Amino acid sequence: MISILVNESSLKIEQTTRLSQLQTQHKPDADLLIVNGFPAKPDYQLCQGDQVVMIKRGEIPSAEQLEALMMARHTPGVHALISKSCVGIAGAGGLGSNIAIALARVGIGKLIIADFDLVEPSNLNRQQYFIDQIGQPKVAALKENLQRINPYVEIETFMGRIDPQNLRQIFAGVDVMVEAFDAPDQKAMLTAAHLQQAAECPLVAASGMAGYESSNSITTQKNRNNFYLIGDQQNAAQPGQGLMAPRVSIAAGHQANAVLRLLLGEEPA
């Protein structure tokens, strides 16, 4: 006999069991069979420790099953680590809203998100909001959207301006801090305050993602111990060169992946 997980429940099966046999016995109407994070063929012979998820398209899973199904495509072992982690995001605009959604989709345990602004029409060209959320506080609208994606992420919000005096209190206990402001003065303030007050906590910041320059010019660099800077460090938003979804999303993806690597004990750069 061998032990496997089927939709997150432990099960003992015969060593010669194939995936098709397991499907027949436990979920014959499944449309998608995933083993260890990847789609598998029905004739796959199951092995000790395999993690199997069987999904019927269109079926609404129970609360217990939903998290397992969402995490089914992850690299094995990732979720066990990141589900216990807390990440702080200063800013819920083009960078922050995209970063938060990426981290929610990978199953981060807790997000602390701070911003003082409201959703306005001009935000919709690059930020993760909807037209019916115009006028809402960004932190409230983003929390609503994140909960629709993954209701198992704990989300704490702060609506107000961040300054050196309240920074540590708002983001107390985070494992990684993310700078996601638009304005250069706010970026500089948060970076300086964090590196002075909480240098032991990694900071992932961004600078230079405006316009439609080459995607490949956006990189992740380690500037000093526990400080990582994403962007091209040149193309800031200015008249005639605005912030648009493609490059902002690329920079946000770099930031989210840097956070993920830090939480998993890897260097982002």
pLDDT at 237 over 80: no
Q: What CA–CA distances, in Å, run from 93 to 19, 229, 245? A: 44, 18, 11
Pick the CATH number of 79-263 from 3.40.190.170, 3.90.950.10, 1.10.8.10, 3.40.50.720: 3.40.50.720
Q: Which is nearest to 38 in space by CA: 50, 22, 23? A: 50
Q: Which long-range CB contacts under 8 A does 230-235 form with residues at least 24 apart?
A: 230/204, 230/205, 230/206, 230/254, 230/255, 230/258, 231/206, 231/207, 232/208, 233/207, 233/208, 234/208, 235/208, 235/209, 235/210, 235/211
> Where along the chain do its domains lie?
2-59, 79-263
Q: Are 254 and 218 in contact (CB under 8 A)?
A: yes
Least confident of 96-105, 174-183, 215-224, 238-247: 238-247
Question: Residue 63's pLDDT is what?
Answer: 65
User: Of 3.90.600.10, 3.40.50.300, 3.10.20.30, 3.40.50.1100, which CATH number belongs to 2-59?
Assistant: 3.10.20.30
Q: Is the pLDDT reported for residue 128 higher than 70?
A: yes
Q: What is the pLDDT of residue 267?
A: 94
Look at residue 85 in the predicted model and tell me its pLDDT.
97
Nearest Cα residue to 242 out of 163, 174, 182, 196: 182
Query: Cα–Cα distance between 36 and 71 in angstroms, integer?
Result: 10
AA letter at 253: G
User: Which pTM value belongs to this model?
Assistant: 0.84
Amino acid at 243: L
Mean pLDDT of 184-208: 95
Count of positions (residues) in the chain: 269
